[in-house]
Amino acid sequence: MEALNLRAMALMVIIMVTMMGNMAKSEQHNVGGSKTSWDPKINFTQWASHEQFHVGDWLYFGYGEKQYSVLEVNNASYVSCNETGFIKNITGGAGRDVFELKEAKTYYFISGGGFCYQGLKVAINVAENLAPSPQHSPKQSHSASDYCLINQTLVVLILVLIWGILFK
């Protein structure tokens, strides 16, 4: 009876660890580098070039200026700062807007109110998540398998530890 309970507990721990592993894979990116950097003073091209965006990640647009907003637009509207015919208005009103990157493609965001002309716009290049995709990109599948190996090793290690504690 008691052994059964311990096993159930161990199983729960395993499930939790696995879930935590999955959660760690999706990252939140503060656009511009901080919680208040959706600001025309930031060079977003430079910022984005140092970030790695993957499917499942989130963007956080933080700003204090009520006039700023966040619109998802297409490539042409990004280039010309065209505020009409946007894809999605992400503006929530509190200056804390979030957006999930759901596809491996380039997303474009601009501010309304003419601030796009001052540089308040960003292009986000999203890559596939680290799920294995062996047929297409050998380079990517290499790093993906490395990642899986590390992850699996970690899980096995934790399992051994738990087993050691519970069943010694």
Ligand X SMILES: *[C@@H]1O[C@H](CO)[C@@H](O)[C@H](O)[C@H]1NC(C)=O
Q: How far is the CB of 160 from ligand X (least distance, A)?
A: 47
The answer to whether residue 67 forms part of the interface with ligand X (CB under 6 A) is no
Cβ proximity to ligand X: between 95 and 112 the closer is 112
Stretch that binds ligand X, among 12-20, 29-37, 43-51, 156-164 (CB under 6 A): 43-51
Sort 30 into a burial class: Cβ within 10 Å, 0-12 / 13-18 / 19+: middle
In the chain, DSSP finds a helix count (H) and a strand count (E) of 4, 8
Q: How far is the CB of 113 from ligand X (least distance, A)?
A: 8
Stretch that binds ligand X, among 27-35, 76-84, 133-141, 146-154 (CB under 6 A): 76-84
DSSP for 92-132 reads: -SSSEEEEE--SSSEEEEE-TTTGGGGT-EEEEEEEP-SS-
Position among 91, 129, 140, 151 found at the interface with ligand X (CB under 6 A): 91
The answer to whether residue 133 forms part of the interface with ligand X (CB under 6 A) is no
Q: How far is the CB of 100 from ligand X (least distance, A)?
A: 18
CA distance 79 to 106: 13
43 touches 64 (CB < 8 A): no
Position among 26, 36, 82, 141 found at the interface with ligand X (CB under 6 A): 82
113 touches 81 (CB < 8 A): no
CA distance 93 to 23: 28
Q: How far is the CB of 61 from ligand X (least distance, A)?
A: 12
The answer to whether residue 80 forms part of the interface with ligand X (CB under 6 A) is yes
Structure-block tokens of residue 3: 């052994």
The answer to whether residue 18 forms part of the interface with ligand X (CB under 6 A) is no
Q: Which residues bind ligand X (CB under 6 A)?
A: 43, 45-46, 69, 71, 75, 77-78, 80, 82-85, 89, 91, 93, 106, 112, 119, 123
